[in-house]
Structure 1
Amino acid sequence: MARMARRPTLHDVASHAGVSIKTVSRVVNHEASVSEEVRTRVAASIAELHYVPNSFARSLKSGGGDTIGVVMDSIADPFFAELMSAVEARALDAGMTVIFGSTGSDPERERQQVERMAMQRVRALILAPVTGDHSYLERFRATLPIVMVDRQVEIGGYDIVAVDDRGLTRQAVDHLTERGHRRIAFVGNDVHFPTTAHRLLGYRDALAAVDVEPDPSWFPEGSGDEDEAFDVVTRLLAAPEPPTAVFAANPRAAMGAVHALHVAGRTDVAMISFGDFPMATTLTPAITCVNQDPHGIGVAATERVIAHLDAREHDRPDEHPLEIIVDTELVARGSGELEPA
């Protein structure tokens, strides 16, 4: 087997051009203190040897690279997959790259991912925080711009880009009650996230408006994943008075709920999902959803990162933290417009 050629180093370029390593470094970093003749000679050696500068090493030396770190639940979640894609596209437009780490909804794993990225000297961080103690972030505040997405932390002073979880859920459940539904299940009651708590409040607001006190069995606590949602909906459908409608608090729960309704042959049960998911428009009936706009959230969060970095680059006072609420809407497709059977 042929051996792979060794990648040329800074030392190889210096030797080839007949200059010092420091001179090559100055040329690579576009410093002015090099004559045009030497700069041309070094550039010719770089081209002939196919030398590629190590941008990561250069970022360590200069104290900042061209990378944004993104830490969020999981890209298996359709919402975060689209959000991540939007961050990456906007970052590339700005000449930056992105690295990703998942929390798995675990506070300790979140902390480890953030600390790992800080050690790798990312220039900024976009974080979807898990419920827990975030005091560890304080030591990064002066050097690392951090923008929260989807949910805020318990300490102030950070940008947050999100949607109106309580108000949008109220709107969605109002949409069901206006069609006569009173027994409405809330599926995906994941206690790890404050967003879920806000959505549960919106659910309660809508039912209170029609004088309904929800039975605790309609909104059991859990992890909010697909398998659990399937089990919850299957169990509720078997109750003496099953729900006539289901509100899914996240896309993963929505996929589990849809599966349970189809297995049980109960597609007459109305349903609304908080957040869209793949194949939602191809089902019969198609799934009505709150358009959570992960693309808009991702772009807005990246814009805030760029604003912070630009302020620091030009020695301006850092940007004041903002709360950005992205406009969204309820998308009626059929499942949320069904009346009680």
Structure 2
Amino acid sequence: MTHMRGTDAARASVPRRARIIDVAELAGVSMKTVSRVVNDEAGVLPDTRDRVVAAIAELGFVPDSRARSLKRGSTDTIGILIDAISDPFFAAFVSAVEELALAEGLSVLFASTGYDGHREREQLARLTGDRLRGLIVAPVEIGAGELQLLRRRFPVVCVDRAREGIDSIVVDDFGATVEAVEAFIERGHRRIGFIGEHTPYPTVSARFDGFRAALAAAGIPIDDSLVVEQGRSHEEHEVTELLGRPDAPTAVFCASSPATIATIHALRQGTAPMPALISFGDFEFASVFTPGITCVDQDPRLIGEATFRRLIALSDEPGSAPEHIVVPTRLIRRGSGELLAESEATPSPIGALR
């Protein structure tokens, strides 16, 4: 198991390596033109070639030999199969991978499973029917055996969920949830709710296990009536009922950003008092509510970068042993997760956008 380490400050102190997109912007040409110059291909006007060469020299650009090896062959396309582009996490993840791919002269083709195993296989067949140079997949029902067969044709990396014998990029769902629930307990909360999603994924199960473990370690009995399995349709009636109970939880842990969004909607539509709230997963506008939404940040850009770099590494060494890379998370404290257990500390529903 490989763990990524380092802080934002440490990353900021390292000069960013010039990318192909930087060269293209400085020279005033497309990334494809830069790629042609770098690879000494025909079809570039002399003046244009001179501008690109000058930009390369000025920026100190060094082509990524591993990325170039990934492109060798009949195509320069990476396939990505995710749950849904509407999911805030995967939308940001795809954007990060696409940016890195374009910067190296590669293109991206993505499809979604809609959380459905049958559709997953149909989409996978469409993606892999093309001659891909690599595949990134967030598996729903597809097993290790099927992915290992694909791995014989091109590099394959799983994201968010692991499969035996396949490279995977994940976060510590269990440990991050324990940290979040412990933050509630430190602020005096004893009645803590869990709002998850009805999915077959081990990620949500691991988060629920972390929730139960943190309560057990603090000697807090598990109350199953405080657990809500929230559907992907964002129907919040069960959440509304939970928060409107006379013995409602004073703190709520939402196991995903869609579950958090449904919970916020329920709070804003009803009259239930605002509980302390932590979301597993950040999302757009989370910081502009009153209070801001505290979240476990599974940074999609870090995960996207780790996934892309591993895919490139596999192109150099396709027979290398699979790696299970755990990307670190952090708890972003914005106010909602820091509300105290006393009733007077949480008198009203979540406020309007700032």
TM more than 0.5: yes
Contact preservation (8 Å) 2:115, 2:140: yes
Contact preservation (8 Å) 1:226, 1:253: no
Deviation, structure 1 residue 323: 1.0
Q: Give 1:146's match in structure 2, choosing from 138, 146, 156.
A: 156
Q: Name the residue aligned to 1:12.
A: none
Q: Which has the higher contact order (CA 8 A, sep 6+)?
A: 2
**What is the one-letter code of the residue matched to 1:336?**
G
Percent sequence identity over aligned pairs: 45
The alignment status of 1:180 with 2:188, answered yes or no, reads yes
Contact preservation (8 Å) 1:169, 1:202: yes
Deviation, structure 1 residue 138: 3.3
Contact preservation (8 Å) 1:261, 1:269: no
Flag structure 1 segments of 5+ consecutive residues without an equivalent.
Answer: 1-27, 29-38, 45-61, 313-317
Q: Name the residue aligned to 1:330.
A: 331
The alignment status of 1:158 with 2:170, answered yes or no, reads no
Deviation, structure 1 residue 264: 2.2
Partners in 2 of 1:131 and 1:285 — Cα distance? 38
Q: Give 1:119's match in structure 2, choosing from 123, 126, 129.
A: 129
**Root-mean-square deviation (CA), in Å?**
2.4
Matching of residues 79-228 of structure 1 within 5 Å: 79-131=89-141, 133-153=143-163, 156-223=164-231, 225=232, 227-228=234-235
Deviation, structure 1 residue 206: 0.9
Contact preservation (8 Å) 2:148, 2:165: no
Contact preservation (8 Å) 2:251, 2:276: yes
**What is the one-letter code of the residue matched to 1:241?**
D
Deviation, structure 1 residue 43: 9.7
Partners in 2 of 1:95 and 1:165 — Cα distance? 34
Matching of residues 23-34 of structure 1 within 5 Å: none
Q: Name the residue aligned to 2:270.
A: 264
Partners in 2 of 1:203 and 1:108 — Cα distance? 31
Deviation, structure 1 residue 226: 5.7
Contact preservation (8 Å) 2:239, 2:266: yes
The alignment status of 1:71 with 2:72, answered yes or no, reads no
Deviation, structure 1 residue 267: 5.1
Query: In structure 2, do the counterparts of structure 1 residues 256 and 305 end up closer, same or farther at CA, with 3 Å as the change threshold?
Result: same
Partners in 1 of 2:321 and 2:143 — Cα distance? 23
Instruction: Give the 3-state SS of the residue equivalent to 1:203 in structure 2.
Output: helix
Deviation, structure 1 residue 132: 5.5
TM-score (norm 2): 0.74
**What is the one-letter code of the residue matched to 2:234?**
D
Contact preservation (8 Å) 2:148, 2:166: no
Q: Give 2:256's match in structure 1, choosing from 242, 247, 250.
A: 250
Query: In structure 2, do the counterparts of structure 1 residues 98 and 213 end up closer, same or farther at CA, with 3 Å as the change threshold?
Result: same
TM-score (norm 1): 0.76
Deviation, structure 1 residue 131: 4.2
Query: In structure 2, do the counterparts of structure 1 residues 43 and 274 end up closer, same or farther at CA, with 3 Å as the change threshold?
Result: closer
Contact preservation (8 Å) 2:144, 2:166: no
The structure having more radius of gyration, on CA atoms, is 1
Partners in 2 of 1:321 and 1:43 — Cα distance? 40
- Per-residue Cα deviation, 1:31-70 (whole angstroms, up to 9, x for no partner): xxxxxxxx99x999xxxxxxxxxxxxxxxxx964100000
Partners in 2 of 1:200 and 1:43 — Cα distance? 57
Instruction: Give the 3-state SS of the residue equivalent to 1:71 in structure 2.
Output: strand
Partners in 1 of 2:293 and 2:325 — Cα distance? 27
- Per-residue Cα deviation, 1:46-95 (whole angstroms, up to 9, x for no partner): xxxxxxxxxxxxxxxx9641000000101101100000001101111221
Q: Give 1:238's match in structure 2, choosing from 227, 232, 244.
A: 244
Deviation, structure 1 residue 221: 3.3
Partners in 2 of 1:266 and 1:235 — Cα distance? 9
Q: Name the residue aligned to 2:307.
A: 301
